[in-house]
Structure 1
């Protein structure tokens, strides 16, 4: 039998638990706390810096700002910022931008045309329940207009010598944004009297107003063409000096007439004197010997006293046995529009080259050939004197504009069992394949090699668009080193049937000694020059 006091204790425990259960069931009384908004602070504690900087330099319009926030009953999940002219009236919810950052490099706006402004910057924290700080952190930055900047593009600088077509490009910027640039100003040889260009101009071509028949011209106006599309403008820049060094000045001007520093480039401008252009593209140090010979050959053909303009694109030279060199540094970085428009000023071009078919990235003619459309559209005629050689890899010539331009169908290939070179030995015949060329009345002279030639190859001619003129009796070399007959193509001179382009692929003289390496089959030393003259006549060069 249990003791009585044990029974009483159990009963009391039951009554206590029942009371506790009843209390839980009745719930707590009172109201829950409301969500408290977050607080926001700026690293700049002053609500306005205007008075603090009175008499001192103002900030530029780009300011680095940091801020922070805390929340008494949760956490800060994001912020909103806004900035505006202190005098502007904004509603409490106007102009805010969301961010999760606690710092930013902010471009504060200066009203267009104003040199100074006081810009209010405000930031407010937002907590995890979406509550926003009702009293945003705020300060006022006194700022002033920063000057624009401008620099020439290093990828569009003109070479050190040009004719009267010159292109240049630049990049302009402004701390207040590109829209704050009012104009680009340029001048030729005059840094004080500059001419306005549209604010968004980044590329121009200057074309001198040349009269090739006026020998007294020493300075002319240059018309401005805008953009790489060569869009004509009504803007003319005075002061382009001919046969002299020129300096182009540029600067950017913003809406407050604050200017950038003045930038400049200089180059030498040659005056065009004729419609005939001789291109010296023979890229070895003995180039002057060949240039003298071919210029004399050309003068013999042209009317007495006819001027010839010279374009020298020989550097950098080929050295040693290295046949692949960069494109000439006397060419502009981009052929269009500069070279396209320069060549369009001429009607007849005689092009003497070391290589035209070896490398479309290193040879000069492939670079130029793709922009000769206006030249030919104006009735231009081109005579090319260049050896034909094979590239290190056939893929190197895919899309080579020079091969598409020249009067040939393809380069030769060597069959298995032969080395990739041919020999044209002394006394080997160079026979005409036509009696007379179109537009001429004199028969083409038969020629022979007066020295052994090693550095040029024949080429493939086929179809109705090319007229072969000469073939040469080459010998081949077997893999074992013995001489064998060459059964492949033998053409070394041709002309397009539309009489626009001529090609002669054998040298006329030894470039070192100046001795002739071709003569007439009858011993006439003038026969090779007469052959070239007849090709020029068929092309329509003036005589």
Structure 2
């Protein structure tokens, strides 16, 4: 009886308790709590942080779980993230050398509740000056003819976007603004050439027209240096970087000889060139292991040859590696884009080379008047008692010429559709070799004037056959190209 009374008492108490509860009520969601791993950063003066800062945080939720975070720099605009750390690159107010960044972050829970009291951190920043450098590995040699190209870079630890201005100058001249998004500039000497201090044009990257400003104090036929510096939004200026000393040599003639073979080959051509021309400049592309080859064929080489009206190029199929691009190719391939431009401005060129059956002439068609090579099994030779002979003009203009010794492994050429046959060879065909015997072609311009001559044999092999090579070079360089 006593136990039953206790049970009834407990039941009545439970009912009374329930009668005081509101039907359908539930406990409200509790918002999450956010913490930064750093509560404050006590740095002043030079110890302030640069604009790149690593921050980390975490959040907890008493009745659920955290799904993400929102951060803000003004307590108005919030950015959502699921990360618990990040590297921030803050922008320093333009014109300020130091700045304080306010950073808030708040957790968001699974029901969308946000921490009503976001974690806060004041971040003391200082501006880092930019850095501007000239690429020494891509710099021109100690002596350049007409054009010198420099590659440069400007960076800033606060973000490259904070760089507002890059300037270059030559010697003790005025500073010149250059576009921040470029990385090359080329100095090009101006005509008429003279010795002393003068202006020189600046070309940005591969531009076809000069920059609006020029270098005002380039020393022609003398030593020069160029300088570079950069500014950022705080108006901080980088240390000035300086190039090595280099000499700029102007053209002395409208005729340029380009050598791509050893000096003993030039020794054969030189006396003939001196007899058939009143003046010339010589550019040796293999001297000192190619020290004076352009590192930037475009634009450097293009600007160089544009200052001349006639070119004589002698070379061979040897491949060379460009130290800047890593590309490996023959000199004629490297030259091809610039020669194509040279053709477009009316330049005249005579090229003599030897081609091999496996030579890559893919790039030739844009610049030279040949369309392919004659490939065959066996071998084609030119014996010492055979000649190469012209199919144009008269023998007095274009004489037949004998080699000083047997030339083996000849690879005749296929002319381009806009060119004409010029010289053929009396070939000796061995072991089933067959094919055309064309070894020289020429291309005329729209007015019918001879603009390009291309030989697929090295003409220096024919220099010992009387004065015939001298006659041929005189006719081409002085008569055919005299327009």
When normalised by structure 1's length, the TM-score is 0.76
Q: Taking structure 1 as reference, are residues 195 and 370 closer, same or farther at Cα in structure 2, changes over 3 Å only?
A: closer
Structure 1 residue runs of 5 or longer lacking an equivalent are 1-11, 84-89, 318-327, 479-483, 511-515, 520-524
What residue in structure 2 maps to residue 501 of structure 1? Answer: 452
> 1:228 and 1:239 mapped to 2: Cα distance?
23
3-state SS of the aligned residue for 2:383? coil
Q: Which residue of 1 aligns with 2:324?
A: none
Root-mean-square deviation (CA, aligned residues, Å) is 3.4
- Residues 1:529 and 1:237: Cα distance change in structure 2 (over 3 Å): same
**CA, structure 1 residues 189+34, in 2 after alignment: closer, same or farther (shift >3 Å)?**
same
Correspondence list, 1:218-237, <5 A: 218-237=196-215
Residue number in structure 1 paired with 2:190: 209
Does structure 2 retain, via aligned residues, the 8 Å contact 1:162–1:270? Answer: yes
What is the alpha-carbon distance in structure 1 between the residues aligned to residue 311 and residue 192 of structure 2?
19
Return the offset for 1:253.
1.0
Q: Secondary structure at the match of 1:536?
A: helix
Aligned partner (choices 58, 69, 82) of residue 79 of structure 1: 69
Note if contact 1:247-1:265 (Cα within 8 Å) is conserved in structure 2: yes
3-state SS of the aligned residue for 2:297? Answer: coil
Contact 1:356–1:386 (8 Å) recurs in 2: no
Alignment match of 1:189 (pick from 147, 161, 171)? 171
Aligned counterpart in structure 1 of residue 337 of structure 2, from 334, 352, 370: 370
- The 10-residue stretch of structure 1 (290-299 or 72-81) with the greater mean CA deviation from structure 2: 290-299
Aligned to 2:29: 35
TM (norm. structure 2) is 0.85
Distance 1:244 1:337 in 2: 22
Matching residue of 1:104: 86
**1:309 maps to what in 2?**
281
Give 3-state SS (helix, strand or coil) of 2:231's partner.
strand
Give the one of 223, 238, 256 matched to 1:260: 238
Q: 1:537 to 1:103 in 2, by over 3 A?
A: same
Aligned length: 464
Counterpart of 1:174 (choices 150, 153, 156) is 156
Flag the structure with larger Rg.
1
* Residues 427 and 437, structure 2, Cα contact 8 Å, conserved in 1: yes
Is residue 449 from structure 1 mapped to residue 403 from structure 2 by the alignment? yes
Unaligned runs of 5+ in 2: 322-326
Match of 1:535 in 2: 476
Distance in 1 (CA, whole Å) between partners of 2:206 and 2:218 is 21
Q: Give the match for residue 257 of structure 2.
A: 278
Deviations 1:274-326 (A, max 9, x none): 111100111xxxx2122132232222112xxx331111112586xxxxxxxxx
Question: Partners in 2 of 1:412 and 1:295 — Cα distance?
Answer: 31
Q: Give SS of 1:294's match.
A: helix
- SS at 2:402 equivalent: strand
Match of 2:264 in 1: 289
The secondary structure found in structure 1 opposite 2:329 is coil
Give the direction of change, closer, same or farther, for the CA distance of 1:357–1:128 in structure 2 (3 Å limit): closer
Q: Deviations over 1:57-91 (max 9, x none)?
A: 222122111111111221111111122xxxxxx5x
Counterpart residue number, 1:459: 413
Match of 1:60 among 46, 50, 65: 50
Distance (whole Å) between structure 2 residues aligned to residue 143 and residue 384 of structure 1:
62
User: Structure 1 residues 249, 34: closer, same or farther in 2, change over 3 A?
Assistant: same
- Which residue number in structure 1 is paired with residue 424 of structure 2? 471
Structure 2 contact 312–350 (Cα < 8 Å) conserved:
yes
Contact 1:358–1:391 (8 Å) recurs in 2: no
Deviation at 1:358, TM superposition (A): 12
